A and B are shown apart, each in its own frame.
Chain A
Amino acid sequence: MARYLGGKFVNIIVSLLILATATFFLMKAVPGDPFTQEKAIPPEIKAQIMAHYGLDKPVWHQYLIYMKNLFQFDLGESMKSSNRTVTSIIADSFGTSFKVGIIAIIVSVIIGVYLGMMAALRHKKFIDNFFMFIAVLGISIPSFVVGAMVQYFFGVKFQIFTVAGLEGPLDYVLPVVALSTLPIAFIARLTRSTMLEVLTSDYIRTAKAKGLTPHAILWQHGLRNGILPVVTYLGPMTANVITGSVVVEQIFGLPGLGAYFVESITNRDYTLIMGITIFYAVILMAARFVTDVLYIIIDPRIKISGGVVKK
């Protein structure tokens, strides 16, 4: 187990290093720099600014310095928002994205699994068809359309919720709705198709023969196997949602990570671009790592010996 997880961990570190290198050179390969503006700065001052951020050195030298700092967990200073470190910008904005995102994920899992289970139980009945039609809608309608709709109807027309911002707990409702539409639909479909398979298997028949209540069969025996694909899907999905959706943040005026990321790229704020890219990758890979561990815990059939997963 330890060897298996250790191997995974080394793999993550190597991937991160390659990603950081690739992003660094990709970014530098594009013409332009953070200090080219419409109003030209005197060349002397510009040279001074460039020297301050180390941009006067050859690219490979800049790369070495960046990597050295990265190993000390120093992401540097933002080149546009003066006197703010990249770490503090990420820490501030990630808080917002995380709070909204994690609520959206919890809501999606509860509603998605429930809808999927109900659809599987009433297979080919009205409820099944109806829920699956809703799920297709959820997958097809883009989040910015959902966001705009709920904002108009519940914010402007009926004025149940505020239009934008995150002041009180009720302000979370609309962004969470916009963020969780797609995951709910996806999880419902996934749960339904797995549960249909699970419910016809032998051990469910055995459980029925033993006289267990339908409730116990469904939630204790069925769900345990039915949830596995959802766990797989949930890893990358959580990483995606908690790092913030640019459009949802734009529509509801949330100061999240997504908004900063687009701004940093258009501003060519090198350190901030690097910082956010690496941060995204860390979250994504951490989510995958947690998924692998969860898998071993949930599914006792998976055995690990000599650092290799065996089933």
Chain B
Amino acid sequence: MSTQLKDIQHSEANTQALFEKLPQRHKEAEIITAESRSTFQESWARLRKNKYAMTGMYVLIIMIILAIVCPMLSPYNTYTNDLDNTYAAPSAKHWFGTDNLGRDMFTRSWRGVQISLIVGFTAALIDLLIGVAYGGIMGFAGKRLGNAMNKFAEVLYAIPYMLVVILLGVVMGSGLFTIILALSITGWITMSWIVRGQILQLKNQEYVLAAQSMGASGGRILFRHLIPNTLGPIIVTVTLSVPSAIFTEAFLSFLGLGVQSPDASLGSLISSAMSSWTLYPWVMAIPASLLCITMIAFNIFGDGLQDAFDPKMKK
């Protein structure tokens, strides 16, 4: 036993002899060699490593470009019919074939994608503006006002949006603008709840107290300090609210409550294909695939964005 102990002591003395004490260089130890990056740069770097999300993003960019360019370059328009050429199969003349009135499906389908994207982005933008402002105030205001605002949002949320859409359609006529307005009336509520939850968590942090003690006004604290700190969840919610708006538009147009003929939306194209697509599959397959591709790309991209902004959740 004792010999072992001696061996250890002996070897310790040896190891000590092998090392040399260097003078400490405090200043150099404090130098940060890594490049400083903002939250956004960090998130972007994480997003770029995610192959699925990047694929989704590229598909989306391609869809946006095609939706703008294709209807412009096509020699046909969305409404001229050609009754000698109804239900023509896809060919060199009509790339996606024609529909029951001989209208060019290529032009109509891309016009549909265009409408979907317009509805999706506009509705998401309006949700963002109203939802963030309302949710921010709801979270930051006192308990009584906050609860009253929350109650209002809850009641609005319970009004079926079909009712709003149809009644608005009676007053303003069905169309793109009506749909966007109807979607915006209730669409912002989810966003406002998410922002409220975040603000409630953040408003007891020290930096808010610091800002208050320096005499910052409530509005300044809310918009300069609190909301920038909730940007991650806000961006993710916006990205996921685009496909949900696209879906709702397609769904309403499918029921005939949305975009009206001769204008074309993916939902109305699918709806009018319902009666004839067993004989002429392309009238259904093309708009349905375009809708699904857009939705999948948005959802994959949104998922990736969520992981990028919230690495703790990354599984």
Contact = CB atoms under 8 A, between A and B. Distances in A.
Contacts of A141: 292, 295-296
Interface in A246-286: 246-247, 250-251, 261-262, 265-266, 273, 277, 280-281, 284-285
Chain A interface, DSSP helix/strand/loop, else mixed: helix
Nearest to B164: A26
A31 B167 contact: no
Nearest to A266: B166
Given A137-B296, A142-B291, A247-B254, A30 B171 contact: yes
A265 B162 contact: yes
Interface string B142-161: 00000000010011101110
Contacts of B274: 148, 251
Contacts of A193: 313, 315
A7 interface: no
B166 A265 contact: yes
Contacts, number: 98
Contacts of B76: none
A19 B159 contact: yes
A152 B277 contact: yes
A187 to B, nearest CB: 16
Interface string A175-194: 00000000000000000110
B176 interface: no
Given A23-B163, A152-B277, A266-B166, A145 B303 contact: no
The listed residue with most B CB atoms (<10 A of its CB), out of A141, A148, A284, is A148
Contacts of A15: 151, 154-155, 158
B200 interface: no
A140 B243 contact: yes
Interface string B225-252: 0000000000000000001000100110
Chain B, interface residues (CB within 8 Å), range:
35 or more
A93 to B, nearest CB: 15
B255 A262 contact: yes
A86 B291 CA distance: 38
The listed residue with most B CB atoms (<10 A of its CB), out of A22, A144, A152, A266, is A144
A192 B254 CA distance: 33
A18 B300 CA distance: 39
A250 B255 contact: yes
Contact of A30 (B167, B295, B313): B167
B299 interface: yes
Nearest to B247: A142
A121 to B, nearest CB: 13
A123 interface: yes
A31 B170 contact: yes
B300 to A, nearest CB: 6
Contacts of A142: 247, 250-251, 291-292, 295
B290 to A, nearest CB: 11
Contacts of A285: 158
B278 interface: yes
A26 B163 contact: yes
Nearest to B296: A140
Contact of A140 (B158, B255, B257, B295): B295
A196 B315 contact: yes
A273 B243 CA distance: 29
A246 B258 CA distance: 15
Contacts of B278: 152, 156
B163 A136 contact: no
A247 B255 contact: yes
Given A141-B295, A277-B160, A284-B158, A30 B170 contact: yes
B189 interface: no
B270 interface: yes
B181 interface: no
Contacts of A196: 315
21 contacts: A15-B151, A18-B155, A27-B167, A30-B170, A30-B171, A31-B170, A32-B170, A136-B299, A140-B243, A141-B292, A145-B288, A148-B270, A196-B315, A197-B315, A261-B160, A261-B162, A265-B166, A265-B167, A273-B163, A280-B158, A280-B160
Interface of B: 151, 154-156, 158-160, 162-164, 166-167, 170-171, 243, 247, 250-251, 254-255, 257, 270, 274, 277-278, 284, 288, 291-292, 295-296, 298-300, 303, 313, 315
Given A148-B288, A197-B315, 8 more contacts: A15-B158, A22-B159, A23-B163, A27-B163, A31-B171, A145-B270, A145-B291, A250-B255
Top 6 A-B pairs, shortest CB-CB distance: A140-B295, A140-B296, A265-B166, A196-B315, A30-B167, A281-B158
